[in-house]
A and B are shown apart, each in its own frame.
Chain A
């Protein structure tokens, strides 16, 4: 099993450009999450999904959109990138039941100039 994978690993954007980050998991997990990590801030939840076709806002959703068209994929979109969105983005997934452990991907480092 590959676990949770993220594409791309690195990206540099100019202000105003758009992009999509892809997260894929092969563990048949129901729940998926997008976080951003900034120095001294820990991980902050952007959006999450509890099943195919459903999404919900997290702690810092502004400027981002998501879609979960397939159970194994969770896409994070930036329609008009801003320098404040420079961050490391992590995707995670977990089973619906059980002890609620989340499994994390390796991250995408995004720089917006």
Chain B
């Protein structure tokens, strides 16, 4: 079975600081990995996805993530936080025996302080 662990349910950064949101996964087969963002009272929007091409994936709004197989990690970063980045972020994995499904982490709430 596949699973996702997001370290830190709440991360707080200052505007202009580095954003680092951590995601570790387990999967018995090479996975597809995703980061989604959810703004208050909205649905989930795809930020970026890893599909076994380049290990460094660039997404929308200046976010990127690096797939590290040896560490089973897919951490999300952004060099300089903006107030508009305040939202909840979800890491998800697809793969293994049930290719229909995405397994989500519990989410990390990002707060950006002025």
Residues of A participating in the B interface, judged by any CB pair closer than 8 Å: 4, 31, 33, 40-45, 48, 50, 58, 90, 92, 99-107
Contact = CB atoms under 8 A, between A and B. Distances in A.
A58 B42 contact: no
Nearest to B102: A102
Nearest to A50: B100
A42 B51 contact: no
Nearest to A43: B104
Given A48-B101, A50-B100, A99 B106 contact: no
B43 A106 contact: yes
Most chain B CB atoms below 10 A, which of A43, A44, A90, A105: A43
Contacts of B44: 43, 90, 92, 104
Main secondary structure of the interface of B (DSSP, over half): strand
Contacts of A45: 101
Nearest to A106: B43
A104 B44 CA distance: 6
Interface of B: 9, 32, 34, 36, 41-46, 49, 51, 90, 94, 99-102, 104-107
A21 to B, nearest CB: 14
The 6 nearest A-B residue pairs measured at CB: A104-B43, A42-B106, A99-B51, A104-B44, A42-B104, A43-B104
Contacts of B34: 101
Contact of A58 (B49, B90, B101, B106): B101
Nearest to B94: A100
Nearest to A107: B43
A100 B34 CA distance: 9
A22 to B, nearest CB: 15
